[in-house]
Structure 1
Amino acid sequence: MERSIRLVPLDEDGFAALTTDVVVPVEQSLAWDDYDRAVPGRRPWKRFACYVDEEPVAVLALSEYLGRGFRYLWAKHGPVWLVEPTPELECALRERLVAGARAVDPRLVFVRLHATHPAEDLHELLQSVTYDRTVIVELGGRTDDEILAGMKKRGRRDLRKGLREQPVDCTEETGLSAEDFTELYEVLRETAERDGFGVHPMGVYTTMLDALGPQHARLFVGRHDGEIQAWVIVTVNDGAATAYYAASTASGRAYDAPTQLYWHIIRTLRDEGALTFDFMGVGSPLAPSLEALTTMKTKFNPEVAEVPPAWDTPVRPFAYAALVKALAAKRATLAGARRAVPAVRRATGREEGAA
């Protein structure tokens, strides 16, 4: 007999009741709604439970994003599965979600959500980086020695060397004003320029800290002789801590300040009852841009965990295809411009030399 699979809207109380016994990522939690409301171009959309016959098998919270002339939904780190998802179950949930989104708001172009099993309706993300591997450190009930024993030999060596030769003063600075965050933002810009990634406007980070509050968003900073060498924003929900944003200076890296800071964070959160610490993504064929982070993150656990990456599922296939084409053209134009700049400089240099 064919089983009934349906999506049922949930209010906050219904969502909380169904997720009592599971770990909910902070982006799927009720607390995330305040952050979505505070960021321009975003808002909480709807929450659903997926039922197979009368059994709830998953819940998901969706946020609506306004792009440049288009709208889409994103269930960050969702669905939250209450059972082990099969390829068929993941596909059935997406089919019902896409049909429902199309019926509720025909302007929506695609839905972004996480999936374990590849499928034809899943497309690589338009303009964001996802990951399918991360490093997770178990904290619950573990002593310092036990956490150290789980680290790579190199990790223990680097930590002890840094603590001995140039110890970093690690403090929590949750509640830092937006004005005082400016100094941290400059460190982030230095990190981004060095490692080749983009940064959000400063307000995205300060709004996150303010909207989520100290219960769900924490700021830790490492200094040496009063100078910032590294900082990390950590989110916490249901005992799961995640290193969400991080930055470090060149001098901080030279003496491995991030390792000392992470060691401080891990022990602090463990003492407060956190059960896990997720470094939020390492390199893989799906996420080669994160490869530079792998060495540092695996110091704390050499075992890499597989996690479901994010995918786009079109709601309006023709509109989505047009976006893909337009974005490819834009990237080609930018790549051509970047190639042209060195050529112009070389030509100018030759002319000046000849003169």
Structure 2
Amino acid sequence: MMVEINDQKVWNEWLLSQRMQTGIFLQSWEWGEFQKTVGHKVHRYLNQDKDTIARLRNREIAQVIELPLPLGKKYWFIPRGEALPGLVGEAQKHGVWFIRFEPITSDGLRVKSYVKTRDISPPQTLIIDLGKSEEELLAQMHEKTRYNVRLAIRKGVEVRFSAKGGSASGGEEFWKLMQETAKRDKFSTHPREYYEKMLEVLSNYPSPQSSPTRGEEEKDNPSPLGRGEKTNTPLKVRGDGGVMHVRLHMAYQGITPVAGAIVGYFGDTATYLHGASSYEHRAAMGPYALHFQIMKEAKKEGYKFYDFWGVNTTYYKLHTTNSWAGMTRFKTGFGGQVVDYPGTFDLPLNKFWYTVYRLGRRMLP
């Protein structure tokens, strides 16, 4: 029997007990709450039976994001999670056409009749083990990457870190760099409001023990991307990894911003979510110093892994000019371990309408 869970602390503790490093933040309570702020419904399910503990060990929980389709219809999306067999009945109650899911391993492909579809999240990622010393982290890098890290430091590149639970200093500069990078590398960004909301919500998410109080309980912070509006946000964030949060980190050469990164923190892993850099100041090698300093800071705070969140070694090995190739070349230069995902799959619940949906997608430009 599937039951919905409404307790933040319990949900995250169950999730973290699975001891998976990669992508798990997408199933965190806080990520679900962020999805609500951008207009999506969220459901959190536990497969409850007589052997609950065994079920939890087998990843029998799933956070589901409800997304719209044409004609007022909808589908369910489970990012970096499994389409549990028990979810089918719940989805049908909600009038869902299909369930889209991204299992972390092939063990998550237990349901029958699934269909491979276009990947939503990256097909591979790169994990850096932060248990190594600073010297070991440098030694595992490609020679050119190690040189560029040291060159950036010699050129005076400094990295400024946002405090946990603080407002996102440098947000306006990051957005300008993001627009420049997207134009240069020919990729689409989220709307500015998406990054604003992410930083607003996830920079300040309260732990279960620190519910906000008004007056002393509220605090005015500037808008994360610098528009000047005021937002009321909780004061405290637990710093032990039990609450997912994000921070914006910026690299400067003097007063000039040369690179920036939004990083998510959850459990024992820091994950690189979004990044941008200046082409005009590319000689400063800002991104190299930025990521190395983020790793050092995360290591100091007790995080065990740095997830570069997205590589594609297929394009890299083919030596293509695809944007994935350049991105993969940069990230793999830091060493680490490439992790493969099975991909993204659909579980059709209404085969007729799912077929109509697929045909409609093919007709789009």
Measured against the shorter chain, the TM-score band is: 0.7 to 0.9
Q: Which residue of 1 aligns with 2:263?
A: 234
Higher helix fraction: Structure 1 or Structure 2?
Answer: 1
In the alignment, residue 131 of structure 1 is paired with which amino acid? P
Match of 1:307 in 2: 341
Residues 1-355 of structure 1: pairs in structure 2 closer than 5 A: 7-12=2-7, 14-16=10-12, 18-19=14-15, 21-23=17-19, 25-40=24-39, 42-49=40-47, 55-56=54-55, 57-58=58-59, 59-68=61-70, 69-79=72-82, 94-102=84-92, 104-106=93-95, 108-115=96-103, 116-117=105-106, 121-125=114-118, 129-140=120-131, 142-164=132-154, 166-173=155-162, 175-176=166-167, 181-214=171-204, 215=237, 216-285=245-314, 290-301=324-335, 303-331=337-365
| Aligned-partner residue type, residue 5 of structure 2 | L
Size of the aligned set, in residue pairs, is 305
What secondary structure, in the 3-state scheme, does the structure 1 residue paired with 2:114 have? coil
Asked if the contact 1:10/1:49 (under 8 Å) is kept, the reply is no
Query: Please, what TM-score do these two structures have when normalized by structure 1?
Result: 0.77
1:9/1:198 CA distance change after superposition, 3 Å: same
Residues 293 and 22 (structure 1), Cα distance of their counterparts in 2 relative to 1, 3 Å cut: same
1:274, CA displacement in angstroms?
Answer: 0.8
Deviation at 1:241, TM superposition (A): 0.8
Amino acid at match of 1:71: K
Per-residue deviation at 1:208?
A: 0.7
Structure 2: 5+ residue runs without aligned partners? 205-236, 238-244, 317-321
RMSD: 2.7
CA gap of 1:123–1:306, structure 2 versus 1, over 3 A, is: closer
Q: Are residues 190 and 52 of structure 1, via their aligned partners in 2, closer, same or farther at CA, if it must alter by over 3 Å?
A: farther
* Equivalent pair of 2:47/2:86 in contact (CA under 8 Å): no
Q: CA deviation at 1:112?
A: 2.0
TM (norm. structure 2) is: 0.75
Q: Give the AA of the match of 1:154.
A: K
| Higher CA-based Rg | 1
**Conserved? CA contact 2:185–2:323, under 8 Å:** no
Query: What is the deviation of 1:248?
Result: 0.9
Secondary structure class of the residue paired with 1:123 = strand
Worse overlay, 143-152 or 43-52: 43-52
Contact 1:283 1:292 in 2 (8 A): no
Q: Percent identity?
A: 24
